Amino acid sequence: MQMIQAYDGLNLYMTTDTPESPRAVVIISHGMCEHSGRYAAVTQKLFDRGFKVYRYDLRGHGKSEGERGFYSAPDEITEDLHRIVDIASEENPGLKRFLLGYSMGGFAVADFCTKYPDKAEGAILFDAATRDNLGGFSRISQSLDPLTRFPNKLAKRLTSDPEVTAAYKTDPLNASYFTAGLSQRLTLGIQQLTANPTFCLPVLLLHGEKDTLVDPSDSTDFFAQIASEDKQLKIYGNTQHEIFNESVKNQVMADVTRWIENRL
C-alpha cells in the first residue's frame, strides 16, 4: 500500500496484489461513497488466476485526500484513473492492462477508455454509470451550491445480502454523505460520454436486472451505441446493484476471468 500523487498533486491511496508470475494487470475503480478495500474478494479471485491487481481510493473517498464525496470537474475522476494506469504500465511493461469499473468507477473506466484507447487492452464494467436513465445524478441542479451535502442512503439498495449491507453501514471508510458537486460533475461527464460514442476497446458489460441505482438500460444503451466490435453484455437475473456481492458473485467472477483469459 502506498500514497501516490495525482495529476494535480493530491495524494491517492493505492494497493497492489502481485502473484508470482503475473499474466496481466487489472485495475479496479470503485463506486461513490465507498473505498477500494471493499474489493478484497474480487481481488482474490483475480489474483488466484494470476492477475496483478491495482486498487485505489478515488479522490475524496476512503484513505485518499480530497473533499469528501466531491468533484470540481468531470475530468478529475478520469485523470486520477489515468495516473494509476500510467503507474501500472510503467511497472509492468509487456503485460496487457484491463480496467474494471463499478458504478461511478465504471463511468471513469468508460470515459478513460474513450479518451485514451491506446492505454488499455480491455474494460469490464459492473453496473456502470455510462448513462443516467434514472436521473440519479441529473436530478441535482447545476445551480446548487456544489458543497451542498446529501446523506448516503445507498446501503439498502446495493445488495440483497444482509451481511454485506450490515458491514457497509458500519464501515468507517464509507462516506456518510456526498456533495452536489459530485452529481453535477458526473452529469456533465455522462453527457459528454453519451455525445461521443467512440469507445472502441473490447468490453464486457455486466449488470444486475433489479438494479434500482443504475438502470440496466444504461448498459444496454451504451452497448448499442459504442463503436466496439468486441463487446459483450450480460444481465444477471434477480440481482441488485452490487452483482459481485449477490448470490451470483462466483459466476460473475468466473465470467470476468474467462473473458480476460480469452484476450491474453
Active-site residue, 228 included: no
Residue for grid cell 450490515: 166
In this predicted structure, what is the pLDDT of residue 116? 99
Q: What pLDDT band is residue 260 in, cutting at 50, 70 and 90?
A: very high
Mean pLDDT value across residues 236-255: 99
Q: Is the pTM of this model over 0.85?
A: yes
Residue 241 among the catalytic residues: yes
* pLDDT tens figures, 197-218: 999 999 999 999 999 999 999 9
Cβ-contact 262, 127 below 8 angstroms: no
Catalytic residue among 30, 215, 241, 255: 241
- pLDDT (mean) for 142-152: 98
Whole-number mean pLDDT of the chain? Answer: 98
pLDDT number for residue 10: 98
What pLDDT is stored for residue 1 in this prediction?
A: 79
With a pLDDT cut of 70, the percent of the chain lying above it is: 100
pLDDT at 40: 98
pLDDT one-digit tens code per residue, 65-124: 999 999 999 899 999 999 999 999 999 999 999 999 999 999 999 999 999 999 999 999
User: Looking at 111, 132, 211, 255, which residue is catalytic?
Assistant: 211
Question: Which amino acid is located at 65 in the chain?
Answer: E
DSSP codes, 12-63: EEEEEE--SS--EEEEEE--TT--GGGGHHHHHHHHHTTEEEEEEPPTTSTT
Fold (topology level) of 2-261: Rossmann fold (3.40.50)
Domain boundaries, the chain: 2-261
**Distance in angstroms (rounded) separating the CA atoms of residues 197 and 137:** 20
Query: What confidence score (pLDDT) does residue 74 get?
Result: 84
Predicted pLDDT of residue 105:
99
Write down the catalytic residue from 36, 103, 183, 228: 103
